[in-house]
Amino acid sequence: MATNCNGNGASIFSPKLQVEAIQTVIPMKITDPRFSRRIAIPENFDLGNLQRRFHMVLYYNKASETDSGWIVAGWFKESLGSAIVENPIFAGRLRKLEDDFELVPNDSGVRMLEANFPMNMVDFIDLKKKENIENELVYWEDIHETSPQFSPLFLIQVTNFKCGGYSIGISCSLFLADPFAMTSFLKSWSKIHNNLVSQIDSPKLPAFYTPNFTKIGSSPTLSTTSPKTKNQITNTLIFKNPKTPLKMNNNEFLKNLTSKCIGEIEGKIGKNISSNFTILVKENFGSIKMENCSREEIIKEEESGLLSIISTNWNDLGADKVRFIEGNEAIHVSCWIINGENNQDLVMISQTNDEDNSELNIIITISN
């Protein structure tokens, strides 16, 4: 029987997260052949751009008496190891080249943290509406600026709440994947996870069941996110350019598309985007290009007026379909983007992962 994590009416406070375990999940087999994705960066590249990332938190009620975040995370070691065999880039690293960077699927692995938060889940969800505390549920290690090849680009945090519910927090470098590509991977991984668990003949604990190795609640508190960007607040707006032949290599088209979307945003929020911002263009399984732009050079309404765009939002990601236990849907999903240490506004353009769909996603994140 599912357990609903209702609050008990007690006064809401913000206790400290207890970190119980940190481990690395590597692919179940060696990636062969290896490939790489080139990342073209501007001449005056600000290393603060390395910390640009996407966060997602999915909240789940306890699905049954035998369910817990500890058990789900225990099976992650196997299911995620299988999922990244099919998508080895998620276990890869950034490598610095002479002038650019490249993504290399070198099987270095995904970092995973398990934690305990001494609060009922619904109380936490209510508190996060008033305080900027949700970053406690996403694990992030700043990418090393001079030796990025040692820093994970995909990190997971499973947090158990006092009531028995749990959250799954996702952190992903924007160089590795845009929010749509990451959500597509999560859906694929959740299917692998459910297939794995369903093959078990009788209930049993996973080999990597943290309570068997540590006394829960005895670990010291630990900051799980970057102190430099921990309190950054952003506003993200999403657009689609539907049924248009893909023109990812047409720089003028992309700038006109950006101009159209910026015009829509400024009309909605009554505020201009910053005079200087960053454009990140990502092709499916292709090149990645980062460029610095000024508002003056890109806003050309007379050239972008005929372009078709549709305004959408985070719900379009379909994260509600990410179910690591069949039938147990997330009761709440949060998504946000961190603009990095330089806090410069970002325009990210990517292709939809569906080969039969020619849509472009335009994701614009403005720092508040």
What DSSP string describes 82-116?
A: HHHHHSGGGG-EEEE-SSSEEEE-----EEEEEEE
Give 11's pLDDT tier (boundaries 50, 70, 90): very low
Is residue 296 assigned to a domain?
A: no
Is residue 165 assigned to a domain?
A: yes
Is residue 243 assigned to a domain?
A: no
Is residue 356 assigned to a domain?
A: no
The confidence score (pLDDT) of residue 10 equals: 35
Query: Which comes out higher in pLDDT, residue 221 or 10?
Result: 221
pLDDT digits (tens, 9 = 90+) for 133-145: 899 999 999 999 9
Whether the bond between 33 and the residue before it is cis, its omega within 30 degrees of 0, is yes
Question: At which residue do the structure tokens 């069949």 appear?
Answer: 326
The rounded Cα 331 to chain-centroid distance in angstroms is 18
Residue 305 has pLDDT above 60, yes or no: no
Give 267's pLDDT tier (boundaries 50, 70, 90): confident
pTM here?
A: 0.91
Residue 3 has pLDDT above 60, yes or no: no
The confidence score (pLDDT) of residue 9 equals: 35
Residue 50 token pair: 């390395």
Residue 172 has pLDDT above 70, yes or no: yes
Residue 63 has pLDDT above 60, yes or no: yes
Instruction: Check residue 164 and report its DSSP letter.
Output: S
Residue 356 has pLDDT above 60, yes or no: no
Residue 5 has pLDDT above 70, yes or no: no
Q: What's 47's domain CATH number?
A: 3.30.559.10
Residues of the chain with pLDDT > 90, as a percent, come to 59
Distance CA 277, CA 346 (A): 6
User: Which letter, b or e, does each residue of 61-96 get, where b requires 16 or more Cβ atoms within 10 Å of its Cβ?
Assistant: bbbeeebbbbbbbbbbbbbbbbbbbebbbbbbbbbe
Is residue 287 assigned to a domain?
A: no
| Residue 181, domain extent | 18-223+314-338
The confidence score (pLDDT) of residue 93 equals: 97
| Average pLDDT estimate for 9-23 | 69
* Range in 8-22, 89-103, 126-140, 291-305 the model is least confident about: 8-22
Task: Pick left, alpha or beta for residue 107 (phi over 0 → left; psi -120 to 50 → alpha; otherwise beta).
Answer: left
* Range in 165-179, 294-308, 331-345, 349-363 the model is least confident about: 294-308
| Average pLDDT estimate for 27-38 | 93
How many angstroms separate the most distant Cα atoms in the chain?
A: 65
Number of Cβ within 10 Å of residue 265's Cβ equals: 21
Is residue 2 assigned to a domain?
A: no
Residue 270 token pair: 């009554």
* Range in 161-175, 218-232, 280-294 the model is least confident about: 218-232
pLDDT digits (tens, 9 = 90+) for 200-245: 765 678 988 898 887 776 666 566 666 677 778 899 999 998 766 5
The confidence score (pLDDT) of residue 199 equals: 84
pLDDT digits (tens, 9 = 90+) for 74-132: 999 999 999 999 999 999 999 999 999 999 999 999 999 999 999 999 999 999 888 88
pLDDT digits (tens, 9 = 90+) for 269-280: 877 788 889 999
Is residue 23 assigned to a domain?
A: yes
| Average pLDDT estimate for 138-155 | 95
Distance CA 137, CA 225 (A): 9
| Average pLDDT estimate for 314-337 | 93
Residue count of the chain: 368
Contacts with 130 (C-beta within 8 Å, 6 or more apart), sequence order: none
Mean pLDDT, the chain, rounded, equals 86
Contact in structure between 102 and 37 (CB atoms under 8 Å) = yes
The confidence score (pLDDT) of residue 224 equals: 66
Domain count, the chain: 1
| Phi, psi (rounded to 5 degrees) for 33 | -80, 160
The confidence score (pLDDT) of residue 257 equals: 87
3-state SS class at 184: helix
The confidence score (pLDDT) of residue 223 equals: 61
Residue 23 has pLDDT above 90, yes or no: yes
Distance CA 231, CA 222 (A): 16
The confidence score (pLDDT) of residue 352 equals: 77
Query: Which comes out higher in pLDDT, residue 162 or 9?
Result: 162
**If you compute the radius of gyration of the chain from its CA atoms, what whole number of angstroms results?**
21
3-state SS class at 50: helix
Q: Are strands 288-294 and 276-282 parallel, antiparallel or unpaired?
A: antiparallel
Is residue 147 assigned to a domain?
A: yes
What DSSP string describes 230-285?
A: TT--EEEEEEEETT----TT-HHHHHHHHHHHHHHHHHHHSSPPPSEEEEEEE-TT
